[in-house]
Each structure stands twice: as C-alpha cells, then as structure tokens.
Amino acid sequence: MIENKKILLSNGCSWVWGDGLKNPETERWSFHISSKLGLKDENISVPGSSNKKILRNTLEWFDSNHRHLNDIVVIIGFTEMTRDYFYNALLKENQNINWATGNFQEKFSDNLNEQLKGLVDSTQERLELFNYYDSNEWKNWWKQYFIIHYDLNHFHNTLIKNIIFLQSLFKSYNIPYLFFESFGCDLTGGQRKINNNLVDKTNIIDTSFATFIGDNELDYSDNKGHPGKKSHEEWAKHILSVLRERYER
C-alpha cells in the first residue's frame, strides 16, 4: 500500500519539525524516511504545537490538497497533552499555551502563581490588549482560565476523540498512516493510557520518541531536550520498520 505513494505527510510539534538540529530539513526523521521510500518530505509540523493545532493543520492540508490524497502516507507525532490551542476573541486569532508540563497540577497553586506572572508579562507585550483589560484584570482572566477550564481529563478525552476522528478520516480515503507519541500525552502508557475500544492501536507505535531516546541512550540537539541528529536517524529506522510491517505484509 505504500509502494505507489508520492508524499510523506508528517505533522507534530518541534520533535517532528527538528528543533535544535543544525539542518532540520535534511536531518529530521521525516527526511530520512522520505529518502528511503522515494517520497516528497511534506513536513507541516510547527514547533510548540498542541494536539489541537496538529489536528487543525492536518485538516487544512487535506482541504487544500484534496487532489493528492491518493498519493500520501501520513505519520503524526502527538505531543504534550497539557498544551492548548484556543481562539482569542479579543485578538481575533488563535493562541497557543505550550509551556505547561504533565505535572502542572501536582503543585497547582505554586505552578499557577509562577506561570501567571509570565503570562501577564507576555500579554503586556501585546499593547493592543490594554484596550480591553489592565494587568490586574489580565491576571484574573488567566487565573479563571486555569481554575475553571484547564483540566487534564478534558485534554485526554479530546485527544482520544481527535485520534478516532483522524483514524476514521484516513481509513475512509484508504491512506496508510502511523501515530506515535513524541512525549507527554500517555499514548502508549502512563496514568492516562488510552484504552478506548474505538481507537485502532494497530497503527500506533508502541513506544514514545522520548522513551526510545532514553532506552537507547541517544543524543539531544540542545539543552531544551530536543532529539539530536542520531536520535532522528534511529527513530526514522524504527518508524520505517513499523510502517513496512504494517503495510507491506
């Protein structure tokens, strides 16, 4: 099912884009897989993306490139579950929240106070926002968001729905695909391991990119923990073996 394809469509966060690499376009895992299979490397990932943004970007690409859907193989790396993506009606644009980590709610009050200052400071950089609220009002705005709307169970359930939706979409067009966890979303294990019966686990790689790097003592490209050149090379080999096992049987 992959021998006649022309495009490898990959999406995710910085771990898919190749953050920290000297030459991301020729060193990231999607390039290595594309080269091995003779495909065009169509990497639409955006550093800092949330899973919601990954879904949206994928759908937008499908809509804009509908005539190419018979030519593609899709590989998506899901990211930290606590990242969010929402529409700010004041700015009339979408915004990312991508600084949170999985242990954010373990010490909620400490983390909340620490993050509120940074959020208010970053809000102040957008001078047009002060046409609406002053800094104290923005602090209350963010506090209400985290207390009322920020919930890990909600993010987990949303991720499951998005995975089911994408799987159904790809199957309806007979598109070969694989999913994996870059880090932080419990796709293959952890406290919130996905056990929904509607999720087809045959196309989900059974280890995360982060775990793969640790287990194999591979490299990082920077002090922010992004995968290094060797990590991308070895991860590409692993993905390719899973892809061939799944679709060349």
Look up the pTM and report it.
Answer: 0.86
Count Cβ atoms below 10 Å from residue 173 Cβ, excluding itself: 13
Average pLDDT over residues 100-111: 56
Question: How does residue 92 score in pLDDT terms, banded at 50, 70 and 90?
Answer: confident
pLDDT at 236 over 60: yes
Percent of residues, the chain, with pLDDT higher than 90: 59
Question: How does residue 178 score in pLDDT terms, banded at 50, 70 and 90?
Answer: very high
pLDDT digits (tens, 9 = 90+) for 8-22: 999 999 999 999 999
- pLDDT for residue 115: 62
Average pLDDT over residues 224-249: 94
Of 5, 67, 54, 57, give the one whose Cα is nearest residue 33: 5
Average pLDDT over residues 46-54: 92
Q: What residue segments make up the domains of the chain, in order of their start? A: 7-81+153-247, 101-151
Residue type, 161: K
pLDDT at 95 over 70: yes
Question: How does residue 194 score in pLDDT terms, banded at 50, 70 and 90?
Answer: confident
Show the tokens assigned to 14.
């910085």
Superfamily (CATH) of domain 7-81+153-247 = SGNH hydrolase (3.40.50.1110)
